[in-house]
Amino acid sequence: MSRARVLVALAAVVVALVLQVSLFPHLAWQGIVPNLCLLVVVAAALTIPAPSALLLGFAAGVALDLAPPADHVAGRWALALTVVAFLAARVRQDVRPTAVAVVATVAAASFIGTSIFALTGLLLGDAWSVAELLQVIVVAVVWDVLLTPFVLPPLMKLFGRLDPQRMTA
Amino acid sequence: MPDTRERRWRGLDRLDARNKAPRSLFIALLLASATLITLDYQGGPDSAMEPARRAVGEAFGPVESVTAAVVRPFTSVPSWLRSQGALSDEIRDLQAENSALRNEVETAGFDRNRLESYDGLTQAAQDLGQALVPARVVAFGPSQSFSNTVTIDAGSEAGIGPDMTVVNNDGLVGRVLRVTRSTATVLLVTDTESIVGGRVGSSMEIGFVHGRGTLADNGGLDLRLVDDAVVPAEHDTVVTWGSTGGPYQPGVPIGEVTEVYSSLLETSQRAVIKPFVNFSALDVVGVMVPTGTTSDRAVVEADGALR
């Protein structure tokens, strides 16, 4: 992975994170916002080589865990987004994924990612009922799926253009 | 023929190697995440992750402030459409006045009792003699993270430190968790981790206000009174109980009682409190600092003067 690609990928994560905490709360439903960082990780896992995507997932998770105003136990989003990157990279085929496949991947990734985060919270002693958790998870999935048509195609094009093996192909 | 076939196989091989997520890396990253969780969870408030949090906060804080400043004109478009120019100023002034009057009414019972109570005028004057550092909310923690925290655009340079009380003109917002140079992270009272000492204004009974983790208007807060013989009345105002060492200053209005539950199983009364602050539309807040704090911005003194 060249230096330019690392920079572009990290820049995408930073932009996603800042928009997620500073812009989207104004449009949020009960504070639930689209998880743009997760969308970036899924887009990367569907285009760039799997090892880089895994590392990007971990880095995006750590950023979500540490950037203000985060106050949960650090490492929980890192765990969730690493798993998301791993699963999305497994789903991917080398043909160009269809729109339906991308949306389905995002929905599954969002459900699994948010669920892992919620479950680690339960393990660490958060006092939430399963019904409340499920409500948040479902709204989060809907948000992520709604934003997919606007966010995923440009991101995948961006990451795809930076992929040297794809460029020569 | 064998040639082309071989080339195709080689091609597939290469693609396969690219696509396969390496298990060893995956497991290494999972272990790294588990290590982070363990470090942070075991360390508690002085965990090994705090310096990292601070460093990341120093980098992200200014970016969040700038982004919030850029999007503010757009997010306030709806209110501009409703009320143009001077009209919107007038409404804001009236709302501020309204809030101030409401505050006065809400705390009237508490204040009267306070005056009569033993600690007397001087203590009350000292307690309420707090200056406010104004700040704006620049970032909200997503509800997917199951915590209610916000970032404000004032930090240690503005004289803010951990455990200071954050209010707005409607009432108690929360307390400062940690600061960077230019930003601070605030734990809202609606967070499930938040516990505030509360006092029912009319009866002076004390209890604890727990957050329920939701920003919905009817979600509210839970009040558990220490004395289980006392039943708080509906529409009673709850204010902070406060202590000199603790994080919350006394006498800040939190909310009003909307429902009261009592069960034989529970040892104390549980009342639902509707907070005065609208947490899903937080913007301008004030951080209570000791009078005379040096700050990088104008400070609202206890008598209302700007300094």
Report pLDDT digits (tens) over B229-246: 777 788 888 888 876 666
Q: What is the pLDDT of residue B2?
A: 46
Q: A68 and B29: CB-CB below 8 Å? A: no
Q: Has residue B8 got a pLDDT over 60?
A: no
Q: Domain residue spans in chain B? A: 41-307
Q: Which of B120-124, B132-136, B264-268 has the highest mean pLDDT?
A: B132-136
Strands B184-188 and B195-200, bridge-based pairing: unpaired
Mean pLDDT of B190-200: 88
A40 touches A13 (CB < 8 A): yes
Cα B147 to chain centroid distance, Å, stands at 10
Mean pLDDT of B203-213: 85
> What single DSSP character describes residue B264?
S
Residue B69 forms contact with A (CB below 8 Å): no
Q: What is the pLDDT of residue A144?
A: 93
Q: What is the mean pLDDT of chain B?
A: 77
- Please tell me the distance from the alpha carbon of residue B35 to that of residue A20, in angstroms, as a whole number: 26
Nearest residue of chain A to residue B59 (CA atoms) = A67
Q: What is the pLDDT of residue A146?
A: 93
Confidence of residue A164 (pLDDT cuts 50, 70, 90): low
Q: What is the pLDDT of residues B250-302, one digit of tens each?
A: 888 888 888 887 766 666 667 888 898 888 778 888 888 887 778 888 777 76
The encoded tokens of residue A141 equal: 């999935």
Q: A58 and B75: CB-CB below 8 Å? A: no
B297 touches B288 (CB < 8 A): no
Residue B33 forms contact with A (CB below 8 Å): yes
Q: What is the pLDDT of residue B129?
A: 61
Q: Which residues of B touch A117 (CB under 8 A)?
A: 144-146
| Reported ipTM | 0.86
Q: Has residue B122 got a pLDDT over 50?
A: no
- Please tell me the distance from the alpha carbon of residue A144 to that of residue A99, in angstroms, as a whole number: 14
Q: Which residues of A touch B62 (CB under 8 A)?
A: none
Q: Has residue B15 got a pLDDT over 60?
A: no
Among all chains, which residue has been given the structure tokens 């549980």?
A: B270
Q: B22 and A165: CB-CB below 8 Å? A: no
Q: Which domains does chain A have, with CATH numbers?
A: 3-164 (1.10.1760.20)
Helix-then-strand count for chain B, H and E: 7, 12
Q: What is the pLDDT of residue A117?
A: 94
Q: What percent of chain A has pLDDT over 70?
A: 93
Q: A70 and B149: CB-CB below 8 Å? A: yes
Q: What is the pLDDT of residue A163?
A: 64
- Please tell me the distance from the alpha carbon of residue B172 to that of residue B189, in angstroms, as a whole number: 8
Mean pLDDT of A62-66: 93
Among all chains, which residue has been given the structure tokens 């954050």?
A: B166
3-state secondary structure of B273: strand
B184 touches B207 (CB < 8 A): no
Q: B25 and A49: CB-CB below 8 Å? A: no
- Please tell me the distance from the alpha carbon of residue B40 to that of residue A26, in angstroms, as a whole number: 30
Q: Which residues of B touch A135 (CB under 8 A)?
A: none
Q: What is the pLDDT of residues A75-90, one digit of tens each?
A: 999 999 999 999 998 8
Q: Which of B39, B41, B191 sits opposite A124 (nearest CB)?
A: B41
- Please tell me the distance from the alpha carbon of residue B155 to that of residue B136, in angstroms, as a whole number: 11
Which residues face B130 on adjacent strands?
B290
Q: Give the alpha-carbon dihedral of B32, A112, A118, B53, to 10 degrees.
A: 40
Among all chains, which residue has been given the structure tokens 């307690």?
A: B127
A155 touches B8 (CB < 8 A): no
Among all chains, which residue has been given the structure tokens 């040892």?
A: B267
Which of A80, A86, A5 is closest to A53 using CA atoms?
A86
